[in-house]
Amino acid sequence: MLIYQIYPRSFKDSNADGIGDLRGILEKLPYIVRLGVDAIWISPFVKSPQKDFGYDVSDYCDVDARFGTLNDFKKLLAEAHKNRLKVMMDQVWCHCSDAHPWFIESRSSQKNPKADWFIWADAKPDGTPPNNWLSYFGGGAWAWDTTRQQYYFHQFLESQPTFNLRNPALRKMILQTGKFWLDLGVDGFRLDAIHTGFADPSLRNNPARPKKMAVAPDVPKDIPQARQIRQYSEGHKDTLAFLEDIRKLANRYGATLLGEVGGENPLARAAMYTGKKRLHMSYTFSLLKGKPDAASFAQSVVLAETTKKSDTQFCYALSNHDVMRVASRWGNARTALLFGLSLPGSYCMYQGEELGLQEADVPFEKMVDPFGLAFYPKFKGRDGCRTPMPWSKWQGQAGFSAARTTWLPISDEHKELAVDVQEQNKESHLHFARRIIAWRKAQPALQGDGFKPIKTKGDMIAFERMDKKQRLHFVFNVGNASANYKIPPNASLVYEASIGVLPQKDSLVLKAMSCAVFAIKPVKRPKNRG
């Protein structure tokens, strides 16, 4: 499956308020269909105070007025289905907003029907929090509530209290909100940070991270949480039963579940969370930081594909709304896109990836991401990958909005890569993206999970994809200098899927950040005449 992620605030504004919306997505649906993707994943558009831009939900069953109405979503859903495009919703089921009625009631007293719908704990005798757990967004993960005279746990912002998903009444209610959208015809859910839903019930302290131990890929190295091993604050085994409950609901509708999985050993955890009774597929942050070298490729893709269970499928991603854009990390957007599309399983493209957009430089005075504001300038947060889509070089606000200002500024560099500019150039990245997506769909070897890593030297990454009908050999030079690569036996270069290569007699030269694809002809064995 090829999934296209839409960050609705930044996709297309239809009502000139500077914020993208559902009608804007509907307007640009033909553009998405033409890309050739199978599904869209829409980041949160339900009611929210927007302190974390939709990932702080205050009503799970209604559309936030900034994005439109429930009727707007129904129209979008119907049009998508008319064009054979599946629609996946972001579901934030491990925490909510402190403005949600469930939390307002829970914090009102220590004895009410929803008193234990969230994780509450008494202070230590000296008044300090119950343990040393830290928040993803900086500082301690406990906030004091003066009414209850207790601390509540928050994995992210203080305004995002973490659910106590061990409460059966809460779990039933959460599944009811999922049923609401499935009844409308939604085709699946992307489950946000699903590894953060269950913590150690004994609230044991997390151990300190040894200095030589690598930081987990889902956390910036310069924040306090990076100094801990998150052994007890997330990823408890009780998560599995919750996933199985969600899967039972999804099975009733034939819906697909995609989980965002992070933590200390994300690949092992993603494999554990995925299978016949749990998620259909999972993705991690393994390929969302920096650019891969042979070692990191072995630790992410090779390890995942060679150790996974037969009923497990991973969904790979090189960009999303939480990380620096892949064009800036890799330096060659075409090579990066081909790399992602050639991996086994499913692939998730982030809006603008098909345009080759680089990370935008948002000045401090225009930043809005609370994560970035807290750690600037060491960490600039997520604003740079969330700036509005450039639809037109010549229209105001790059064709994104008719407003005088937009929620994040338009990047001047992005205007040069606007859709209308690239449409006029058959050699543009947009046209390349469409061609390579169509090529991917036409290759039998890329439809299944057939995968074999190839040993290489230096800055080369190589692997083969195969099925009964076809065998493809991929090689990527992810280094900063040209390198030679010996052409495999019985191989012919696939020119439409090769970038920056110079064929020689029995080898080829791959320029820095380039790639080559070979079709391997089957060897005909002589018939046994005996």
- The residues carrying an active-site annotation are 192, 260
How far apart are alpha carbons 77 and 160 in whole angstroms?
29
State the alpha helices, DSSP H only, in 15-98: 22-27, 29-35, 70-82
CA contacts within 13 A on the Cβ side of 373: 9
Q: In the chain, how many H helices and how many E strands?
A: 15, 20
First-residue to last-residue Cα distance in the chain? 47
- Label residues 214-227 b or e (16+ Cβ within 10 Å = b): ebbbbbbeebebee
Q: Could you identify the residue written with the tokens 């509005």?
A: 388
User: ω into residue 488 within 30 of 0, thus cis?
Assistant: no
Query: What would the DSSP string read from start to end of 412-477?
Result: HHHHTT-HHHHHT-TTSHHHHHHHHHHHHHH-GGGTS---EEE---TTEEEEEEE-SS-EEEEEEE
How big, in percent rounded to 5, are the helix, strand and coil portions of the chain?
30, 20, 50
Q: How far is Cα 157 from Cα 405, in angstroms, rounded to an integer?
A: 27
What are the distances in angstroms from CA 496 to CA 57, 308, 422, 423, 437? 45, 31, 19, 19, 11
Q: What's the CA gap between 35 and 31, in Å, rounded? A: 7
Which two three-digit tokens encode residue 54? 């939709």
